[in-house]
A and B are shown apart, each in its own frame.
Chain A
Amino acid sequence: MNNITEVKGRSLWSDARRRFFQNKAAVAGLIALTTIVLISFIGPYFAVWSNEEIDWDVMGSAATLGMPSFESGHYFGTDDLGRDLYSRVLQGTRVSLMVGVIGAGISVLVGTIYGTVAGYVGGRTDQIMMRTVDILMSIPFMFVIILLLVVFGRSIGMLFLGIGLLSWLDMSRIVRGQTLSLKNKEFVEAARATGVSTPTIIMRHIIPNLLGIVAIYATLLVPAMILTESFISFLGLGVQEPLTSWGALISEGAGTIRYDTEWQLIAPLIFFVITLFSFFFIGDGLRDALDPKDR
C-alpha cells in the first residue's frame, strides 16, 4: 500500500500563484516593492551620514550646498537643517512600511477572528458584535487618533495603537459576510454532521476558505495605513524627531519648496508613490488570482 507513488494534487493556492505570476503588473509591483524594502534595509550601509547628523557646512545654505551629489555623500541632498536626506528617506521608509504592515496585520488578526466568530455563531451574538462595530465606525477615527496622540503624547506605540484600534472594523465586516455564505455550504454541514467541534470547523473549514479575500483586502489596507500615518505626520503629530516617516518628510519638503530645494519633496515622494502603486498592483493581481468567480 505504501510503495505506490501518489499523484501530487494542484491546490487552489498553487493555481492562484500561477495566475498571479502571469499578471505582469502584479509581478512588476512585487519586484518594485521588494526592491524598496531591500533598499531601506541595505541602503544604510552605503550611507555616509546618519539620519540625525547635521552637516554644519550645509546648514543655512541648503539650497546651494545641499544639492544631491555623490561628492558630499548626500546622495539625495540634505534637508533644511543639513541632515542627510538619503538616510532620512531610508529610515522614513522603514517606519512607514512598518506602520502599514503592522496596521494591516492587526486588522487581519483581529478582524478575521472577530468576523468569523460573529458570522459563524450568528443570532444575538452576531447582532451585538456587529452593532458594536457599527458604533465604532461612526466615530470619526482621525479625530480619535489625533486626540490619542495629543493626550498620551506622540510616540510610535500610540500611533500603532490608534491605527490598530480602528483598522480591523472593515475587515471584520468583510470576513463576517464571507463567513455567513460559507457556513451554509454543505461541507460545513458535513463536518457538523460528523461531530467536528465549532472551533475546529472555524479553523479548518471557514478560515482557509476566506483567507483569499483577507489577503486581497490586507494588501490594499497596507497603503491605506501608510496614507493615514502620512496624513498624521503631515499634520505634525506623527513620529518624533529624529525619527521620521514619509508623511513628515513630504510635509517638510512641501514646506520648503519655494526655496528651490525641490529634491526635499521629490526624494520621499518617489518612494511613497512607487510603494503605493506597487501595493495596489499586487492587491489587484491577488484579487484576479484568487477570485473564485473567475474559476
Chain B
Amino acid sequence: MSEPILSVRDMAVHFDVRDDDAPGLLTKTKKLKAVDGVSFDLMAGETLGIVGESGCGKSTLARAIIRLVDATAGEAIWMGRDLLKLSDADMLAVRKDIQMIFQDPLASLNPRMTAGEIIAEPLKTHFKGMKKAERREKVQRMMEKVGMDPTLINRYPHEFSGGQCQRIGIARALITNPKLIICDEPVSALDVSVQAQVVNLLMKLQKELGISLLFIAHDLSVVKHISNRIMVLYFGNVVEVGTSKQVIEDPQHAYTKKLIASVPIPDPEKEMERRVERRAKRAAAAK
C-alpha cells in the first residue's frame, strides 16, 4: 500500500445547463460545476469511500475517471498514464482493469439478456478469441464466487431479487480480473439486510483478489464499515480526507460534522434522547 495506482489531480467537470433566469429571448447557458478541482490518491488494495450529499458530484467524479463523461480539466494518472488523454484504443485496454458497479441493480442489467450473457459481456469485449464453453465455465465459476447458484445462468434479470441482481453486477465487474472497481452507490437501492450481505461480499472478494475499491455512498455507516479512508465531497470540492476512523470520530470540517450528526442512530431511545438534547440546545441558543 505505498504506490498509488490511481492519482486524480485537479479533476473538474463542468456542464453547460440552460440558464432560465438569463434575460433575452435566446436560451443562454451557464456552467454547472459538478466537480471542481478534486484531487486524491488511491493505493493498491485500498478502499476509498467517497461521501457527500446527493448532487455533490460523487457519481460525476467516478464517471469522469472512466470517461463516461468528459472532464473539463485535470488528470487521472492510472499506473503512470493519464486516462483522460488516452486514445480510444488504449482506453479500451485499460477498461479491462477498471470496472464499475451501479446503483440500481435491476436497471444496470439488460432485461433482454440472461444472467450468463450479462456476466460474459466484458469477456466478449476483451477476450474476443475465448471459446464459448470456456466463457461459460468462467461465468459459472464467477457466479459461485459471488454466492449465486450457477444453474441460474439462463435466467433473466426480472426473475431475480434486488440483492441477486447486484451480485450479477458484481460478477460482471469481477470477470475480467480488474485492479480497480468503482462502486457507485452499490447498496443504496437495497434493503438493509441485503446491504450488509452485499457489502460483506465486496469486502471478502476484495481481500481475496486484492483489488482497489472506489466506494461511493451517501450512507456514512456503510462507508465507515468498508473503507480504509474516506473523502468527503461538498459541491464538487473535497472538504476532508482521512482514515475512516479520523473522519468519523474526529471530523475537522464543519460540513463533515453536520453530515455525521445527520446520521440517525439505529436505537430509537438513543435517537430520541439526541433529539431532545438538540431541541434544548436550540432553545437555549434562541434565548
A242 within 8 A of B: no
A41 within 8 A of B: no
Per the bound structure, the CA–CA distance linking A142 and B99 in Å amounts to 53
A42 within 8 A of B: no
Contact of B126 (CB < 8 Å), options: A8, A11, A195: A195
**Nearest B residue to A195 by beta-carbon distance?**
B95
1/0 contact trace for B36-75 toward A, CB 8 Å? 0000000000000000000000000001001010000000
Judge whether A194 and B68 touch: CB under 8 Å.
no
A258 within 8 A of B: no
Judge whether B151 and A191 touch: CB under 8 Å.
no
Contact of B111 (CB < 8 Å), options: A2, A12, A190, A193: A12
With A4-B150, A186-B107, A194-B95 as known contacts, state yes or no: A11 contacts B102, CB within 8 Å. no
- What's the least CB distance linking B100 to chain A, in Å? 5
- What's the least CB distance linking A204 to chain B, in Å? 8
With A1-B141, A194-B95 as known contacts, state yes or no: A209 contacts B154, CB within 8 Å. no
User: Which residues of B lie under 8 Å from residue A7 when comparing CB positions?
Assistant: 151-152, 154-155
**Nearest A residue to B111 by beta-carbon distance?**
A12
With A7-B154, A208-B112 as known contacts, state yes or no: A194 contacts B122, CB within 8 Å. yes
**Nearest A residue to B100 by beta-carbon distance?**
A193
1/0 contact trace for B96-122 toward A, CB 8 Å? 100110111001111111110000011
A17 within 8 A of B: no
A123 within 8 A of B: no
1/0 contact trace for A181-198 toward B, CB 8 Å? 000011101111111100
1/0 contact trace for A144-179 toward B, CB 8 Å? 000000000000000000000000000000000000
A124 within 8 A of B: no
Judge whether A189 and B96 touch: CB under 8 Å.
no
- What's the least CB distance linking B113 to chain A, in Å? 8
Q: Residues on A close to B: CB < 8 A?
A: 1-2, 4-13, 185-187, 189-196, 200, 204-205, 208-209, 295
User: Which residues of B lie under 8 Å from residue A6 when comparing CB positions?
Assistant: 151-154
- What's the least CB distance linking B107 to chain A, in Å? 4
Count residues on chain B whose CB falls below 8 Å from chain A CBs.
40
Q: A12-B158, A190-B169, A195-B92 are in contact. List 12 more A-B contacts (CB 8 A).
A: A6-B154, A8-B154, A9-B152, A9-B156, A11-B112, A186-B107, A186-B108, A193-B68, A193-B100, A194-B176, A195-B125, A209-B112
User: Which residues of B lie under 8 Å from residue A295 when comparing CB positions?
Assistant: 158
Contact of A189 (CB < 8 Å), options: B68, B111, B176: B68
- What's the least CB distance linking B192 to chain A, in Å? 22
User: Which residues of A lie under 8 Å from residue B125 when comparing CB positions?
Assistant: 194-196, 200
Per the bound structure, the CA–CA distance linking A125 and B151 in Å amounts to 44
User: Which residues of A lie under 8 Å from residue B153 when comparing CB positions?
Assistant: 6
Per the bound structure, the CA–CA distance linking A189 and B103 in Å amounts to 12
User: Which residues of A lie under 8 Å from residue B103 when comparing CB positions?
Assistant: 186
Per the bound structure, the CA–CA distance linking A1 and B150 in Å amounts to 9
Judge whether A194 and B141 touch: CB under 8 Å.
no
B191 within 8 A of A: no
User: Which residues of B lie under 8 Å from residue A187 when comparing CB positions?
Assistant: 107-110
User: Which residues of B lie under 8 Å from residue A208 when comparing CB positions?
Assistant: 110, 112-113
Contact of A193 (CB < 8 Å), options: B66, B114, B140, B150: B66
Judge whether B100 and A190 touch: CB under 8 Å.
yes
User: Which residues of A lie under 8 Å from residue B202 when comparing CB positions?
Assistant: none
User: Which residues of B lie under 8 Å from residue A200 when comparing CB positions?
Assistant: 125
Per the bound structure, the CA–CA distance linking A204 and B96 in Å amounts to 19
Judge whether A9 and B109 touch: CB under 8 Å.
no
User: Which residues of A lie under 8 Å from residue B154 when comparing CB positions?
Assistant: 6-9
Residue among A1, A10, A194, A195 with max Cβ neighbours from chain B (10 Å):
A194
Residue among B95, B108, B140, B172 with max Cβ neighbours from chain A (10 Å):
B108
Contact of B102 (CB < 8 Å), options: A2, A10, A190, A209: A190
Residue among B112, B141, B169, B176 with max Cβ neighbours from chain A (10 Å):
B112
**Nearest B residue to A205 by beta-carbon distance?**
B110
User: Which residues of B lie under 8 Å from residue A209 when comparing CB positions?
Assistant: 110-112
User: Which residues of B lie under 8 Å from residue A195 when comparing CB positions?
Assistant: 91-92, 95-96, 125-126
User: Which residues of B lie under 8 Å from residue A13 when comparing CB positions?
Assistant: 112
Per the bound structure, the CA–CA distance linking A186 and B100 in Å amounts to 11
B19 within 8 A of A: no
**Nearest A residue to B123 by beta-carbon distance?**
A194
Per the bound structure, the CA–CA distance linking A11 and B110 in Å amounts to 12
When A and B form their complex, which 6 residue pairs have the shortest distance between CB atoms, in order from nearest?
A195-B95, A186-B108, A9-B155, A208-B112, A9-B154, A195-B92
User: Which residues of A lie under 8 Å from residue B122 when comparing CB positions?
Assistant: 194
